[in-house]
């Protein structure tokens, strides 16, 4: 048996506790995924000639129960004591086969995987080349596994609290789900209120139920739930630790109002020295003006006013009678507030940071910002909203009602010049806007679309209903919007020039109002968030899930989960479903109370350590201490994350890494080169 060496590691000599290596090699067909390209029988035959190989078999699906049973049986019968599976990527099934190895009665780490699907059959054109490469990878794994050592799986306690970043509908739903299950939730939102994009909408497709009516009760539930700590005006500035034990640093930006005292009576807004709103109201997409002290919308949660220091006279000049303070009966103002920080420990994190709407100004051909009556879909949502700047009326900038409205689909989406992806929600919300604009104004509505995409429960039926209402559908991409009239009826109006592929001609359609159906993009700071939480994004910038089908809410960083449009374009039902899934996955982790950690920590072979301290300074996690008296380095296994940087740098080979010792890697190098 291995003896603890007093510095948290195990003695470094690869002493086998299970006798001389008897290796079982299992080559998976993966249906035809591997066997269609690689000559599986040839690989098995080759493997059986390799040193220490006692058994070599192939099977249709190694990951299936009978496949795993093959391994377990050979182990139990003592035919083998180490396992190599040549199949898919270890990122896919390493855990599965380690489990089978453990079930067979060996340490799960007497296992090595050779990826002959992702690395071979799926990427190599020629069958003979593929078979050769598969053999080489199998040989590498066989050589290496012979040197694997006995290791115990590491177990770590999981902190029971959870954190959710982003308070849109995804974050809200995930927070409530976990809070209801009895977990304490920290919900961090950077805006002054939760609600996200959904709170800005008037109605939701295809049921046309009012967004506020379904969302605001959930918002107030969040506010009042004893298990939820809601932090608005806050952002995560640092994450340390690992799955089950994250330390998250949260910054609270000043709102100059004490949240716990403000009752949301709004008296101060009334009494502000500014008699009229003067500053663009972000909540209404700049379509109205607000005062320096304001509340984004009546049901904002928390119902606390914000002070905008960029606009407030007191902040700008220091000269203001501060009538707001006088008006406040609770003495809730605190103009001296500064940034504060909190540090909390959580077991799991759900990212629900949402999306950004495509900036329509990036497509100047559609005239956004040039022609006042070209609006984005979000602006129209605010105009349609009864709590919006016009009380729900769709009006032109001069206050008159439009008679003809054009809705341009796919703005920024499905466009090689901008975003290649389909934003998924625009067809449906454009139909919704068409219906609502027609209903409120009686205008003729034209939709300009490339393809209508309406998959979803009740979606196609909704499309059908809108068609029957007499909304005009023009199939073709819009070339541009112009105010240059080519005929008397175009005078003073906007003209949409588009190809109509159904009648095979180019059309000019004069309208009064243009709505740009802007697409969904990653948040502009998605890359910063990615770095903070140590996850990855795709090329387009949405966060990458662990597996597109089987782990759609997990990430490659254990304990960090995804919900909503930060992972890709989604509508509300999908977002809520995913938020529930993320909550369930996080719950499964924190509720169990512990996680199993990788065994790949570093350790120091004291006999070889010269005390040079090279490793001490290199460790990014300060996991290596130094015993001055004995002049030896020592790894703190709990803090070590298993990168192996110290091992690569150690001049005497004293620093080693479990599962990645120098000897094991040298053996693997030799293996992949020696035979084929």
Partner 1 sequence: MSEDTSRPFEPKIVAFFCNWCTYTAADLAGISRMQYAPNVRAIRLMCSGRVDPQFVLAAFHDGADGVLIGGCHPGDCHYQEGNHNARRRFELLRLMLRDMGIEDERVRLEWISAAEGDKVQRVCNEMTEQIRALGPLRLVTVPRWHAEEAPAEHVELVGQVTS
- Could you list the residues that contact partner 1 (CB under 8 A)? 89-92, 115, 117-120, 122-126, 129-130, 132-133, 136-137, 140, 530-531, 534, 536-539, 544, 556-557, 600, 618, 620-621, 641-645, 647-649, 657, 660, 662, 665-666, 668-670, 672-674
Preceding omega of 580 cis (within 30 degrees of 0): no
Using the minimum distance from each CB to partner 1, give the nearer residue, 521 or 668: 668
User: Pairing between strand 505-511 and 494-500?
Assistant: antiparallel
Using the minimum distance from each CB to partner 1, give the nearer residue, 492 or 617: 617
Using the minimum distance from each CB to partner 1, give the nearer residue, 490 or 670: 670
Using the minimum distance from each CB to partner 1, give the nearer residue, 510 or 644: 644
Nearest Cα neighbor of 108 from 672, 493, 658, 552 is: 658
Q: Sort residue 610 into left (φ over 0), alpha (ψ -120 to 50) or beta.
A: alpha
CA distance 387 to 193: 16
Contact 142, 113 (CB under 8 A): no
Using the minimum distance from each CB to partner 1, give the nearer residue, 1 or 539: 539
Question: How many Cα neighbours within 13 Å face the side chain of 59?
Answer: 18
Strand order of the sheet with strand 228-231? 228-231, 185-188, 162-165, 348-351, 560-562
Taking the complex as a whole, how short is the minimal distance between the CB of residue 156 and partner 1, in angstroms?
17
CA distance 599 to 601: 6
Using the minimum distance from each CB to partner 1, give the nearer residue, 114 or 495: 114
Contact 145, 661 (CB under 8 A): no
CA distance 79 to 93: 23
Cβ contacts of 658-661, under 8 Å, gap ≥ 24: 658/10, 658/109, 658/149, 658/151, 658/599, 658/600, 658/601, 658/602, 658/603, 659/109, 659/148, 659/151, 659/598, 659/599, 659/600, 660/600, 661/12, 661/14, 661/147, 661/149
Could you tell me how far CA 380 lies from the centroid of its own chain? 28
Using the minimum distance from each CB to partner 1, give the nearer residue, 46 or 459: 46
Using the minimum distance from each CB to partner 1, give the nearer residue, 30 or 305: 30
Strands (E), 306-464: 306-307, 340-346, 348-351, 355-357, 374-376, 404-411, 444-449
Contact 171, 219 (CB under 8 A): no
Using the minimum distance from each CB to partner 1, give the nearer residue, 524 or 648: 648
Q: What residues contact 399, with CB distance under 8 A and at least 6 apart?
A: none
DSSP per-residue codes, 335-373: TT---EEEEEEESEEEE---EEE--GGG-GGG-BTTBTT
Q: What residues contact 270, with CB distance under 8 A and at least 6 apart?
A: 327
Residues 383-414: b if buried by 16+ CB within 10 A, e if exposed: bbbebbbbeeebbeeeeeebebbbbbbbbbbb
Using the minimum distance from each CB to partner 1, give the nearer residue, 18 or 557: 557
Using the minimum distance from each CB to partner 1, give the nearer residue, 91 or 361: 91
**CA distances from residue 514 to 433, 491, 495, 500 in whole angstroms, order as listed:** 12, 16, 9, 17
**CA distances from residue 373 to 36, 363, 399 in whole angstroms, order as listed:** 59, 16, 11
Using the minimum distance from each CB to partner 1, give the nearer residue, 466 or 599: 599
Using the minimum distance from each CB to partner 1, give the nearer residue, 349 or 378: 349
Tokens of 438: 């027609």
Taking the complex as a whole, how short is the minimal distance between the CB of residue 87 and partner 1, in angstroms?
12
Taking the complex as a whole, how short is the minimal distance between the CB of residue 238 and partner 1, in angstroms?
12
Taking the complex as a whole, how short is the minimal distance between the CB of residue 650 and partner 1, in angstroms?
8
Using the minimum distance from each CB to partner 1, give the nearer residue, 466 or 615: 615
CA distance 254 to 339: 6
Cα Rg, the chain, nearest whole Å: 31
Tokens of 301: 């949660």
Nearest Cα neighbor of 384 from 444, 443, 433 is: 433
Using the minimum distance from each CB to partner 1, give the nearer residue, 279 or 660: 660
Contact 262, 358 (CB under 8 A): no
């Amino acid at each position: 048996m291995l003896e603890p060496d007093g510095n948290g590691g195990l003695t470094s000599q690869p002493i086998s506790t299970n006798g001389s290596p008897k290796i079982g090699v299992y080559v998976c067909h993966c249906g035809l995924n591997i066997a269609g390209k690689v000559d599986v029988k040839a690989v098995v035959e080759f493997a059986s000639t390799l040193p220490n190989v006692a058994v070599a078999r192939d099977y249709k699906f190694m990951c299936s129960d009978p496949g795993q049973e093959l391994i377990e049986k050979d182990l139990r019968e003592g035919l083998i004591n180490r396992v190599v599976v040549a199949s898919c990527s270890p990122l896919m099934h390493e855990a599965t086969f380690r489990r089978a190895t453990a079930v067979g009665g060996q340490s799960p780490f007497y296992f090595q995987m050779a990826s002959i699907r992702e690395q071979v059959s799926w990427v190599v054109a020629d069958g003979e080349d593929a078979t050769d490469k598969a053999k080489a990878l199998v040989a590498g794994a066989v050589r290496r596994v012979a040197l694997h050592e006995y290791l115990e799986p590491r177990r770590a306690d999981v902190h029971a609290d959870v954190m959710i970043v982003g308070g849109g509908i995804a974050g809200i739903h995930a927070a409530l789900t976990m809070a209801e299950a009895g977990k304490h939730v920290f919900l961090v939102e950077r805006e002054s209120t939760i609600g996200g994009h959904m709170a800005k909408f008037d109605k939701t497709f295809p049921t046309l139920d009012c967004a506020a009516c379904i969302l605001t009760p959930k918002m107030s539930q969040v506010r009042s739930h004893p298990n939820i700590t809601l932090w608005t005006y806050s952002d995560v500035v640092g994450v340390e630790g690992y799955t089950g034990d994250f330390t998250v640093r949260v910054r609270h930006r000043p709102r100059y109002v004490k949240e716990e005292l403000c009752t949301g009576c709004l008296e101060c807004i009334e009494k502000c020295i500014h008699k009229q709103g003067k500053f663009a109201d972000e909540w209404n997409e700049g379509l109205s003006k607000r005062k320096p002290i304001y509340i984004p919308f009546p049901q904002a949660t928390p119902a606390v006013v914000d002070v905008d220091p960029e606009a407030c006279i007191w902040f700008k000049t220091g000269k203001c009678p501060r009538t707001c303070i006088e008006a406040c009966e609770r003495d809730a103002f605190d103009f001296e507030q500064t940034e504060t920080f909190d540090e909390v420990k959580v077991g799991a994190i759900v990212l629900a940071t949402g999306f950004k709407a495509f900036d329509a100004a990036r497509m100047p051909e559609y005239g956004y910002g040039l022609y006042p009556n070209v609006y984005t879909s979000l602006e129209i949502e605010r105009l349609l909203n009864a709590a919006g700047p016009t009380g729900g009326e769709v009006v032109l900038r001069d206050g008159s009602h439009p008679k003809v409205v054009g809705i341009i689909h796919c703005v920024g989406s499905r466009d090689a010049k901008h975003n290649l992806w389909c934003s998924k929600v625009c067809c449906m919300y454009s139909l919704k806007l068409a219906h609502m604009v027609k209903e409120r104004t009686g205008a003729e509505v034209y939709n300009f679309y490339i393809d209508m995409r309406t998959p979803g429960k009740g979606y196609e039926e909704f499309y059908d209903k809108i068609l029957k209402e007499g909304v005009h559908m023009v199939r073709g991409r819009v070339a541009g919007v112009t105010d240059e009239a080519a005929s008397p009826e175009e005078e003073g109006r906007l003209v949409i020039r588009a190809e109509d592929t159904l009648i095979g001609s180019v059309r000019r359609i004069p309208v009064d109002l243009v709505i740009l159906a802007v697409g969904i993009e990653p948040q502009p700071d998605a890359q910063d968030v990615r770095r903070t939480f140590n996850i990855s994004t795709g090329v387009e910038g949405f966060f990458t899930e662990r597996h597109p089908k089987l782990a759609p809410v997990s990430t490659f960083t254990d304990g960090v989960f995804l919900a909503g449009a930060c992972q890709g374009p989604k509508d509300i039902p999908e977002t809520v479903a995913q938020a529930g899934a993320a909550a369930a996955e996080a719950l499964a982790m924190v509720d169990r109370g512990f996680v199993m950690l990788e065994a790949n920590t570093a350790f120091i072979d004291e006999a070889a350590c010269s005390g040079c301290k090279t490793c001490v300074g290199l460790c990014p996690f300060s996991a290596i201490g130094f015993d001055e008296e004995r002049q030896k380095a020592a790894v703190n296994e709990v803090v070590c994350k298993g990168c192996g940087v110290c091992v690569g740098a150690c001049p005497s080979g004293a620093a080693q890494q479990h599962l990645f010792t120098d000897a094991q890697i040298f053996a693997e190098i030799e293996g992949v080169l020696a035979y084929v």
